[in-house]
A and B are shown apart, each in its own frame.
Chain A
Amino acid sequence: MDKQVLADDPSKRQKLVLGDHTFASISDVVCKPIESKAPTWWLIGLFASISFLLLLLSMLGYLVWEGVGVWGLNNPVMWGWDLVTFVFWIGIGHAGTLISAILFLFRQKWRTSINRFAEAMTIFAVMCAGLYIGFHVGRFWVAYYLFPVPNSMQMWGNFRSPLLWDLFAVSTYFTISLLFWYVGLVPDLATLRDRAATKTRKIVYGIFSMGWRGANRHWQHYEKAYMILAALSTPLVLSVHSIVSFDFAASQLPGWHTTIFPPYFVAGAIFSGFAMVMTLMLLAREIFGLKDMVTMHHLETMNKIILATGTMVGYAYGMEFFVAWYSGNEYEAFAFVSRAFGPYAWAYWTMVSCNVLFPQLFWFKKIRTSIPIMFVISIIVNIGMWFERFVITVTSLHRDFLPSSWEYYSPTWVEICQFLGSFGLFFTLFLLFLKFLPMIAISEVKGIMPEANPHHGETHHG
């Protein structure tokens, strides 16, 4: 028989839901953590996360009270951990929309097991990023200057600046991601409403599911809306990190002013986002017993994407050096030699080993399918991608055009605590999500089961 025919026949493909699951048992498995009592580890985790959240709030309070002098910024390094961490979080926030939109358009059905999870992660990561970009302006109370609002000073923003584009990109991205997530949740909230054992649950899930009843006339508009949102989010997700990279690329600093930045940043964002999804997913799958829905096939496919994007990032690192040499521009060449061998060489080589070397291990199937190893590598990638933003931001700034202003930058305890605190915000929201909302898209997983096909069970001729 022709191999192509085999590949085109969906029934011959890798099964996406393992075990003897029925539609009812899928609902049971996914709803179980929501309907049972909160486990001890969850309460401990929430307590720890809220402590870090409080740390974040106190650091922000201190920052607003004292001013940006509490950070380690100096002249010429005027962007430090504030910008580094902003780009770090917004990068993580790219995997969710990639999985929900781009993989949807490409009909990658394996996405249904992980998209809800990744979208939640996206929204919380973008909230952390938004917080950073709000506070990095220093005087937080005048952050409204960024928005085009009529004011008594008759002052308006400069639309020729990428920093203002960034504001529009990030706020649009947050709004659209949130809407996309909510639309996906509505049918599942209806499932929770119909299963509700208590009055409060019935009322709360009832209100948020808006009276969804699964009528085909509803599904018809729903699927159209979902398709349109996917089609809009695909260019949106690419535009957001491209615009973030314009913040750097549209300036005239050596090491920033390069045309490779938009694709390089987008690849890095997908890379870091997938690594974060992987870290969180491995934990959740273990704890909640979701192994039938998040199978080894899913994990292996994600590792392949991490390998591919990691290689793209490695290519970009190499190409930056090549162009610095090939352009014959001595300032550009100096910036790159300083990156690799200057005072921040330790950060540069941490970045290269975490992002380029470790993901290459995924070429081996044994490593790609080993849960402990992929867990460690996903964390290494997260660290490496934080360092990438640190290297880009700080190394280009610390060697100014005037050698007398050269300066070394290190963060203060306030910046470090604020960074740790941002994880508190992220994990507080994430733990609440795990407890109160279905972490797997119930209706979408059912839709990809062979039983969901109206022609299932009819005898086929070979």
Chain B
Amino acid sequence: MGKSIYGLMAEFDSPGSLMKAAEGLRDSGYKKFETYSPFPIHGMDAAMGLKESVLGWIVLVFGATGLTCGFLLQTWVSVFAYEITVSGKPLFSFQAFVPVCFEVMVLFSGIAAVFGMFALNRLPQLYHSVFNYKRFAIASSHGFFVSVESDDAHYSEVDTTRLLEKLGGKHIETVEA
């Protein structure tokens, strides 16, 4: 035995057959499987039975924080830290604070969207077992792949291989962790 097994991987020939495979695995009760494609495939989330991304809520929280920080910064600077009357305008001229509040809100939200996305995707992760699958090098160009993890409740080397074959998978191999 020696090395542990990550799971099974198979190649499919088109976005359509990849989606049918995902639906097939989902309907057979598999949870820990993944599909790989060089571009996002419309409808794949439903085919895999995934919930909607939570990223929007993360961005909302950071955006609100940015808005608050922008407002508090300007208020503190203009009203408390550096009380200078310019052109006879009141120190707390909140109308003039709107543009900077907006910009800081966008800045916080944008950074949250990008780094939140990387965090949810567990990236950067330079090593991953799926790269051990020989044919995987074309996944970012024109290959369509499925992986089924060995710790899925329904996983069995024989049955899962048979299911993948039935769904149209080619080059089915076990992949080392």
- A pairs with B: yes
Chain A residues packing against B (C-beta within 8 Å): 22-24, 27, 148, 154-162, 164-165, 168-169, 172, 175-176, 179-180, 182-183, 187, 190-191, 193-195, 206-207, 210-225, 228-229, 232-233, 235-236, 239, 243, 246, 442-444, 446-447, 451-458
Would B78 and A160 count as touching, CB distance under 8 A? yes
Question: How far apart sit A221 and B109, CA to CA, in the bound complex (Å)?
Answer: 15
Most chain A CB inside 10 Å of its own CB: which residue of B41, B89, B93, B140: B140
Q: Which of B73-93 contact A (CB under 8 A)?
A: 73-74, 77-78, 81-82, 84, 86-87, 89, 93
Q: A159-B77, A446-B39 are in contact. Are A221 and B48 (CB under 8 A)?
A: no
Q: Indicate if B53 sits at the interface (CB-CB under 8 A).
A: yes
Question: How far apart sit A154 and B138, CA to CA, in the bound complex (Å)?
Answer: 59
* B101 CB → nearest A CB, Å: 9
Q: A179-B114, A194-B137, A224-B56 are in contact. Are A211 and B123 (CB under 8 A)?
A: yes
- Write 21 A-B pairs (CB below 8 A) sorted by A numbering: A156-B82, A158-B86, A159-B97, A172-B110, A180-B110, A193-B140, A194-B139, A213-B130, A214-B37, A216-B48, A220-B50, A221-B117, A222-B40, A224-B55, A225-B113, A228-B56, A229-B113, A239-B102, A239-B103, A452-B39, A454-B42
Q: Indicate if B121 sits at the interface (CB-CB under 8 A).
A: yes
Question: How far apart sit A112 and B31, CA to CA, in the bound complex (Å)?
Answer: 34
Would B140 and A160 count as touching, CB distance under 8 A? no
> Other CB < 8 Å A-B pairs besides A156-B77, A223-B40, A228-B109, 12 of them?
A27-B141, A157-B77, A161-B86, A164-B100, A165-B103, A190-B140, A195-B137, A211-B125, A214-B140, A442-B38, A452-B15, A453-B42
Q: Indicate if B167 sits at the interface (CB-CB under 8 A).
A: no
Question: How far apart sit A284 and B6, CA to CA, in the bound complex (Å)?
Answer: 44
Chain B residues packing against A (C-beta within 8 Å): 14-16, 18-19, 22, 34-45, 48, 50, 53, 55-56, 59, 73-74, 77-78, 81-82, 84, 86-87, 89, 93, 96-97, 99-100, 102-104, 106-107, 109-111, 113-114, 116-118, 120-121, 123-128, 130-131, 136-142
Nearest 6 A/B pairs, CB to CB: A23-B142, A225-B117, A210-B124, A156-B82, A219-B40, A447-B39
Question: How far apart sit A344 and B125, CA to CA, in the bound complex (Å)?
Answer: 60
Would A219 and B37 count as touching, CB distance under 8 A? yes
Chain B residue with Cβ nearest A228 = B113
Question: How far apart sit A458 and B16, CA to CA, in the bound complex (Å)?
Answer: 9
Q: Is the interface of B mostly helix, strand, loop or mixed?
A: helix
Question: How far apart sit A450 and B50, CA to CA, in the bound complex (Å)?
Answer: 25
On chain B, the residues within 8 Å of A218 by CB distance are: 121, 123
Q: A183-B117, A225-B113, A451-B15 are in contact. Are A194 and B53 (CB under 8 A)?
A: no
Would A24 and B55 count as touching, CB distance under 8 A? no
Q: A23-B38, A179-B114, A446-B38 are in contact. Are A211 and B99 (CB under 8 A)?
A: no
On chain A, the residues within 8 Å of B35 by CB distance are: 215-216
Most chain B CB inside 10 Å of its own CB: which residue of A162, A180, A221, A233: A221
Chain A residue with Cβ nearest B60 = A228
Would B96 and A159 count as touching, CB distance under 8 A? yes
Q: Select one of B110, B116, B124 contacting A176, CB under 8 A.
A: B110
On chain A, the residues within 8 Å of B117 by CB distance are: 183, 221-222, 224-225
On chain B, the residues within 8 Å of A191 by CB distance are: 38, 140-141
Question: How far apart sit A236 and B50, CA to CA, in the bound complex (Å)?
Answer: 32
Would A215 and B34 count as touching, CB distance under 8 A? yes
* B65 CB → nearest A CB, Å: 15
Chain B residue with Cβ nearest A191 = B140
